[in-house]
Amino acid sequence: MLESTLIWLRSQNYQNWKNILLKDLDKYYHPKTRELLVCTHNRKPNKGQVCDVDIREWDICSQENNFNYHRSAPCVFLKLNGLTDGWQPEYYNNTDDLPYDMPPELKQHIIHEIKNPKKRNNVWVTCAGENPADVEYLGPVKYYPSIQGFPGYYFPYLNSEGYLSPLLAVQFKRPVSGIVINIECRAWAKNIKYRRNDRSGSVHFELLID
C-alpha cells in the first residue's frame, strides 16, 4: 500500500496535492499498453494480457473533481505494494468464516451487498481512525469502486509488461479541521499477515485539514 505520509491540506494548496496525484495516476489516465482487457470475475486475463483499471469507478474521486481536495473531503488512493511474482490472495469469501476482528461494517457489506460468491473473491480494505478520538474526528468513509477492495481478477500477480496495479480510492467525507487525524488502512486476505507494530498488511498516515 501507500507509504506513510502526512496529508496536510490547506485551502490554498489543494492544487499542489492535485498535481502530485495526477503525476502518480498518469499511467491510469494515459496507459501505454494499447490492448487492455476489460476483466471481470468471470473473465480473467491469460498469460501476457493486462487488465484495465476503469477510472470511471473512482466516481467522485476524479481529476475533474480535484479529487475533492478543494472541498476538504479528500480522496486517497491505495494499492498493494511489495508483491512477489506469482502471488495469489487467499480470499475471505466464505460468509460463515469471516475473521473475528473484521469490522462489522465490512462483514455486513460482504454478506448483504455482494450476493454472487465469485464477486467475493477480493482483497478487502478498511480505513479508520487509529484511536477512538481519531474515529470521531475522521467521520464517514466511502470507497470507490464500491466493492471496497482489490478485485481478484487482477491476481495472480505476474508482473506482465504494462501491468496496472488495481487502485482503491478512499474518500474521507467530513474530517474535522484543525486536528491531526491518525488513520490506518488495512488489507484483508488470509495470506496477508497483519501486525500493527510493524505495519505489516496496513498503512498508516495522518490527515490535517486547515
* Within a domain: 167: yes
**What pLDDT does residue 2 have?**
47
Is the distance from CB of 61 to CB of 160 less than 8 angstroms?
no
Name the nearest CA neighbour of 174 among 129, 122, 111. 129
Nearest 5°: phi and psi at 183? Answer: -125, 140
pLDDT of residue 1: 46
72 part of a folded domain: yes
Would you state the pLDDT for residue 34?
Answer: 66
Residue among 5, 171, 155, 24 at smallest CA distance from 80: 155
**Does the residue 64 lie in any domain?**
yes
| 38 belongs to a structural domain | yes
CA distance 49 to 38: 10
Which domain CATH number covers 75? 2.60.40.1660
What's the N-to-C CA distance of the chain in angstroms? Answer: 26
Cα angle for residues 195, 177, 128 (degrees, 5° grid)? 25
The x, y and z cell numbers of residue 47, run together, are 498469460
Number of domains in the chain: 1
- Report yes or no: 152 and 38 within 8 Å, Cβ to Cβ: no
* Tens digit of each residue's pLDDT, the chain (210 residues): 444 489 998 877 788 889 999 999 999 998 876 678 999 999 988 888 889 999 999 999 999 999 999 899 999 999 998 888 889 999 999 999 999 999 999 999 999 999 999 999 999 999 999 999 999 999 999 999 999 999 999 999 888 888 889 999 999 999 999 999 999 999 999 999 887 777 678 999 999 998
Answer whether residue 1 is part of any domain: no
- Whether residue 103 is contained in a domain is answered as yes
Residues 186 and 202: beta-carbon distance below 8 Å: yes
Structural domain harbouring 182: 6-209
Say if 178 falls within a structural domain: yes
